[in-house]
Structure 1
């Protein structure tokens, strides 16, 4: 193998740049020509390629986002779109592709291999941490630290004004961010898609906490469970006083990656190149325990990852 490519796709996650840097530098060290694909699968279809040298990825580990940029490509979801992408790969003599992204991106990588036998290796990068067979995905730790910092600041003002704050975090299908952020910040309530919420019971708890002298309340809700405004309407009707809403939005995706995310991304990037060199393709690099392993992409995607309900109960008991 002499020439490989790397792309980032879907929602950006802190640490993607560190993974790109590792793929480029480790690949170059092993005598490979490394091509960067701009704009994810859209760039793959359009042939938006750039050769990346050792110097081109200097100083990017600490940067959030992705220097290769990213996009969501509807055309690639079609067989015709994937055929165009495969033609570009073959036209440019690319013998292996590293895909950094979440569920949709990894699905696309698998289809490239299944339909066109393009050698692919996936690296899981999504703040939702909803990819199966890996303990952590790139970007999760940084996201949680961002949310934790924001909630701690909100607790200060909530105490000052004796108010209930409802904080909406990302997580359309997974309550992982909400659960972990709520656990480490001592939120009074955590609302996630996986567990139905009883608003009457929740209101009773907030009122009971108020009677016991607690002067602030933090409710963290995952966007896929309910909107913060819906939660506010339910609670204000029952508790009889006004709440305040904070929607953290895309600030959760940004920022310089933590040490954990940098180390994870760099290690996964190196392992992805090794997998291509070993001829082990259609696999995803996963963290299991303290070790990196290679697992079939579709096995990872078909393994449903759910939140730890015991942690949910612990968060409830400790709040």
Structure 2
């Protein structure tokens, strides 16, 4: 493991994640016959927010409200140390898969607690929705991760990169792609923010630098999930792998944004019901892995 390589991967994620969001905004605009913003518009928005002060609501639990954004972003960036990105460097130890999942979970918990602590009823409704969706999503993810772990007989992430040519591993990768879409807070699963109903839910009371950190944590989380999925299939020398990785990011962003532009938002109960049914596929994939297929 090269610590410098891991740091480069984190810096790459911070720079590129907002650019991918800009690409997705452009794709959705084209599908909806609009011109759309420039690719760097997301970065312009973040810079503008970073220049503005943050306001803490008077009715909030101040320390908890302020801790949410930096913890959400820090946990995602720390998770990048466990996954090869543009460089094939990462931390490795037995059970790092569990640590990775905990970091992903910590990010969601930080955003949810920040919303609950704000004192705003819309933020609390959004946080309730986030918890409902998160619990159903984690249940499905547990089966998928279990199936992949059994397929490679290991609890280290690097053992999954690339995946073996087994039915359970390939099905598990496809199921992970669906969960990556759900975890990215995309339509129709962005029920916790739902701008027309509860005005961005858990994020409603955040402003300035705190809002910029939360937005950046969402963008980097999407990039992290893309990175894990691409690592299931990436092979080759470091140079060719980096090229394939960047091309893969662009392709996934275009596909996901096209799907998002074609969907309407789910109601919370519909999103949870979908994930409960989806968990059945995860359980079947796990059984295939146990049988050695």
Query: Which structure dedicates a bigger proportion of its chain to helix?
Result: 2
Same fold (TM over 0.5): no
Larger Cα Rg: Structure 1 or Structure 2? 1
- Name the TM-score, length of structure 2 as normaliser: 0.29
Name which structure has the greater RCO, CA cutoff 8 Å, separation 6+. Answer: 2
Query: Which structure dedicates a bigger proportion of its chain to strand?
Result: 1
